[in-house]
Structure 1
Amino acid sequence: MRRNAKVFAFVASSVLMIGCLINKTFPKQNEFCFKQKTIHEMKAIVSVERPKATDIKRAKYAREIKAELQNLWHATEFEFKRVLRSNDRNKSIDQAEKDLLQTIWALEIQLENIQSLDITWQAVVANKTANMVSDLIDSHQNPHNCNERGQLFGHPEVCGYGCMVHNILEQFFMALSNNKTLFTYPFGCIYLGNETTLKNVFQPFSKNCSLRTGDWKEVETYTDLKVNDL
């Protein structure tokens, strides 16, 4: 079954790539091909596997962690019984805490060892993902032909800096999901003073597109985003 799924995925990807090559002169098809390329890049990043060279060390550390967990359980049980039998429970509790901390620290060292095996390749995946997201945002906000893409003109809330960032981010998600370039009204921030606007603290949302003039319609439903270019 898995083999059939892989064959189907390979055939589907081949058909999409051939379609992109045949129809690469059409803007809409180019946009479709770009989306397929982005999906392919995301799958490639998600499907990154751990280096097999670390499997032996991973198994060794896993056995040591299992042993340390068993030691911690037995030590906790022993200390608990000792406290119950003690005439000076406060002193026994202090001593139990010191003894158990030694076992916990040993366990933490083993956890750090096994985590260190993944730091390198996870950092590579994180950097690739960050670059891919950055390229996606840049290509979305700076299309080759500004007139072939709709625009969303956002009006952020007049609130604190963090509040405004969250609000603009929400508007960007709406623009991205509806294939529109986001622009926003250069409102001020209540914490930065009336003379400071978004233009003073943010880079331009788009480098090669400007806000178009036209009959702007206030968005009340998600359908409005679909049927209107502006």
Structure 2
Amino acid sequence: MRLLLVEDDRMIGEALRAALRPEGFAVDWVRDLAAARAALGTERFDLVLLDLGLPVGGPGGPGSASDPSADGLTLLGELRQRSDTTPVIVLTARDGPGDRVRGLDTGADDYLVKPFEFDELTARIRAVLRRHGGRAQPVLRHGAIVLDPATRQVQVAGEPVLLSAREFAVLEALMQRPGALLSRAQLEDKLYGWGEEIESNAVSVYVHQLRRKLGAERIGTVRGVGYFLTPVDAA
């Protein structure tokens, strides 16, 4: 899963990015409205973690330094006005009932007040992604494969399978769209954030390891295009 973290506090931003990566999230971090607008205008993210009290940054224009009222809600409103449905969780110190109402009515999928427990944040991320994907059940199933995003456990035919964080991320991406063909670039987006070096054969290595652990027949390939979960032993 690829997340955009929009947070101006360096200590909070570094702590969240460091904590989310071992949970299988690729995290890109920006610290002002201009950088967030640029990122959301050029990249696709599975979810945005959005602080509200942000510096504007960047050149002048709508919502620039000439508009001191611009903040995270401004960005959220812009997203929804252009029909961008990327899930957004607001992370803020603004804890008044009116603040929560404005955030949710502007288009936030969830609203979490600082300080918060990290486990609660990851649970809310999973819940929002689950709702956005149209799933009621928290556990992903495809045939004999069962994947639990909360516990990060995988079973095949009832037997536990130990996966690395990135093997888990590749399998989760495939299981969220069972049967769909995902390109190498799409899978890389789920694995790497900005500034992380991407080895040319990284995805194929992770797929090879998954086939070894899950059964080679469970992941299909369209050469030069991408990978998909096969319907073998599907219930």
Give the TM-score range, shorter chain.
Answer: under 0.3
Bigger Rg over Cα? 1
**Structure 2 length-normalised TM:** 0.20
